């Protein structure tokens, strides 16, 4: 058998239906409170690094129900229905729900591991600059400008020319340090939102269980699930390792969700190896 062909299949199984409803309601709440009450729910419910003052333990779960824009939630919810409905029919509601949140938590922990490593390095760089400024150390201006270049902080060319020519102007160096401090605070408090980590776990499970089922890329190009899944995972892993400065996608969360999902489904499937399609 080359493809998955369900027998009695519900278009919207119980857990999938409720997850869709909760995600849509949370998305509506984000924009209601953000646009009309000027209170960003992301501060309270999006996932923040452990080093951030905004971090709360419940964010490990609540970030799964928040999204950045319409296309973000549309893509995630479509994938949730596409892969999740099949898996819930196969496993039942309880096991599917456990799997979904396990993948989401695994994705969150791996993402936090790498983001905390990056923030730790940023901490050291920033504290060094603060110490140099407090001690009026030699080479402070070069260190400040080196930091802005490394992290892509754009400065007005006239400002750069002036501060290079007047390295002992403490007022100007203090202003530059303020710019760097604001960048540091923004990086420290950058939120992570979306169900993508859990979704990648669903994708990994689907690919493992139904490797020869055809997926239609862009609705027209048929590709077997095993090739589409492997290609997508390789793509995410490549960009996670590359860690491009302009990339605002939580690649390690995607990788983490897929790894956790694969490990769980392999464990569950040890005693039932004939369920491949």
Q: Which CATH architecture has domain 14-115+193-268?
A: Up-down Bundle (1.20)
- Residues 150-167, mean pLDDT to the nearest whole number: 90
Average pLDDT, the chain: 88
pLDDT at residue 152 in the model: 86
With bands split at pLDDT 50, 70 and 90, how would you rate the model's confidence at 127? Answer: very high
Q: Which of 107, 91, 93 is nearest to 205 (CA)?
A: 91
The two tokens of residue 129 are 């600059």
CB 184 within 8 A of CB 125: no
The reported pLDDT for the residue numbered 219 is 65
pLDDT at 244: 58
The percent of residues above 70 in pLDDT, for the chain, comes to 91
Neighbours of 34 (CB within 10 A): 13
- 109 Cβ neighbours under 8 A, 6+ residues apart: 60, 256
Residue 94: is it exposed, middle or buried by C-beta count within 10 angstroms (0-12/13-18/19+)? exposed
Question: pLDDT (tens digit, 9 = 90+) per residue, 187-208?
Answer: 999 899 999 999 999 999 999 9
* Whether this model's pTM surpasses 0.95: no
| Band of residue 6 on the pLDDT scale cut at 50, 70, 90 | very low
Cα 165 from chain centre:
42
Confidence tier at 20 by pLDDT (50, 70, 90): very high
Domain boundaries, the chain: 14-115+193-268, 118-188
Q: Is the pLDDT of residue 144 over 90?
A: yes
CA distance 56 to 44: 7
């Amino acid at each position: 058998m080359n493809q998955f062909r369900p027998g009695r299949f519900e278009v919207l199984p119980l857990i999938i239906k409720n997850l869709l409803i909760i995600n849509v309601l949370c998305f509506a709440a984000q924009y209601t409170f953000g646009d009309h009450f000027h209170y960003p729910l992301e501060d309270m419910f999006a996932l923040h690094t452990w080093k951030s003052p905004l971090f709360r333990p419940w964010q490990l779960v609540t970030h799964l129900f928040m999204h950045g824009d319409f296309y973000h939630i549309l893509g995630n919810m479509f994938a949730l229905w596409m892969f999740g409905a099949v898996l819930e029919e196969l496993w039942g509601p309880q096991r599917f729900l456990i799997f979904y949140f396990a993948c989401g938590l695994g994705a969150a922990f791996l993402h936090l591991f790498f983001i905390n490593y990056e923030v730790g390095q940023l901490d050291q760089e920033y504290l060094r600059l603060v110490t140099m400024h407090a001690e009026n150390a030699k080479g402070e201006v070069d260190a400040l400008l080196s930091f802005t270049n490394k992290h892509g902080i754009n400065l007005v060319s006239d400002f750069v020319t002036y501060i290079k020519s007047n390295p002992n102007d403490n007022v100007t160096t203090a202003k530059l340090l303020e710019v760097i401090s604001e960048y540091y605070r923004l990086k420290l408090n950058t939120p992570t939102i979306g169900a993508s980590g859990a979704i990648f776990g669903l994708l990994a499970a689907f690919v493992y269980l139904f490797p020869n089922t055809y997926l239609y890329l862009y609705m027209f190009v048929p590709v077997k699930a095993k090739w589409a899944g492997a290609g997508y995972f390789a793509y995410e892993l490549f960009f996670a390792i590359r860690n491009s400065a302009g990339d605002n996608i939580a690649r390690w969360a995607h990788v983490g969700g897929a790894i956790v999902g694969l490990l769980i489904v392999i464990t569950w499937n040890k005693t039932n190896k004939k369920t491949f399609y």
